[in-house]
Amino acid sequence: MTPASGPDGVALMGHGSRDPASAEEFLALALAVAETPELAGTVVVPGWLEFAGGPVPSIQEAFRRCVVAGARRIAAVPLILFAGGHGAEDMPAEVRLAQDHYPEIDVRSADLVGIDDVLLQCLAARARAAAAPLPPRPGEQTALLLVTSGSSSREANADVFKAARLLADLADGMLVEVAFLRLARPFLQDAVRRCERLGARRVIVLPLFLNTGLLARRVPRKLVWLRRQFPALELIEMPHLGVDPDLTALLARRACDAFAASDASRARLQTPVYLAAGRERTRPPREGYPHVAEHALAHPRSPRWEEIPS
């Protein structure tokens, strides 16, 4: 970017909340993103999809402020973990609207936060920090419980289970389970019961919320009730991600990747999976023969399942 071209802009797109604490935290997160070294000199403006108009403007107003500040390129960075309705439909619609309003501006869609090694390592580190001051327990007696809102999109809910499976590789032998607050099962009480039946005596609850709000505040209230229902379990509550340095750096990287991307590679509607220091491990499904047959061809000497002795 040359000085004559003006600064780049970042529209940080959040869902929105009625909770005043959510607005305060979202603004603090936007400020932290703006202060990252990768985005030095970049205009970062936060905007909300819903409940905008108070301290946090709308997403379209965020685009307008970037343009007024002189931005000729704008990266639209969604503060969304998984590709549910908001990530796959509403946020891309906001980007298309901005592109229509400002045809002379290069408005680029950044990937969702997605399933990233940085985020997974952050969650694993939080879990270890929560367990460190407590009496030691074997790994198989400790469960990590990822709690999120739930979605009407089956694919988005499946992505949470994918994140849990990948987190298990970093969890030092601890169980990793998933719970939803609404719209999908297992609900929180069902997941806690499953942890107990699997042998856990300690459950570390990790809320998968990027920003506080009414749903995030449900978790501690539900845990008060669950501690009475499961007195033999230690239920350890961890805070949501919020203004976490790892999340801040990840959002800055999403913006930089959007600026660096070619036209053909912009804007995925699926949840991106970034593993091994940013390399995306996704591949299209193969057609022509089923997945089981693919393994049989690759490993012709592998015994059939029924031939493995119990």
Q: Evaluate whether 99 touches 68 at the Cβ level (below 8 Å).
A: no
Per CATH, domain 115-237 is 3.40.50.300: no
Q: Judge whether 3-114+243-279 and 115-237 match in fold.
A: yes
pTM: 0.84
Closest to 128 (Cα-Cα) out of 187, 216, 202, 226: 202
CA-CA-CA-CA dihedral for 14, 19, 22, 27, to nearest 10? 80
pLDDT of residue 285: 38
pLDDT one digit per residue (tens) for the chain, 310 residues: 444 467 999 999 999 999 999 999 999 999 999 999 999 999 999 999 999 989 999 999 999 999 999 999 999 999 999 888 788 899 999 999 999 999 999 999 999 999 999 999 999 999 999 999 999 999 899 999 999 999 999 999 999 999 999 999 999 999 999 999 999 999 999 999 999 999 999 999 999 999 999 999 999 999 999 999 999 999 999 999 999 999 999 999 999 999 998 755 555 556 888 776 544 444 343 343 333 333 333 333 333 333 333 3
pLDDT of residue 265: 55
The architecture that CATH gives domain 3-114+243-279 is: 3-Layer(aba) Sandwich (3.40)
Q: Does the CA dihedral 145-21-26-94 come out positive or negative?
A: positive
Give SS3 for 186. coil
Q: Where are the domains of the chain?
A: 3-114+243-279, 115-237
288: which 2 tokens?
């022509």
Question: What's the burial of 62, exposed, middle or buried (CB within 10 Å: 0-12/13-18/19+)?
Answer: buried
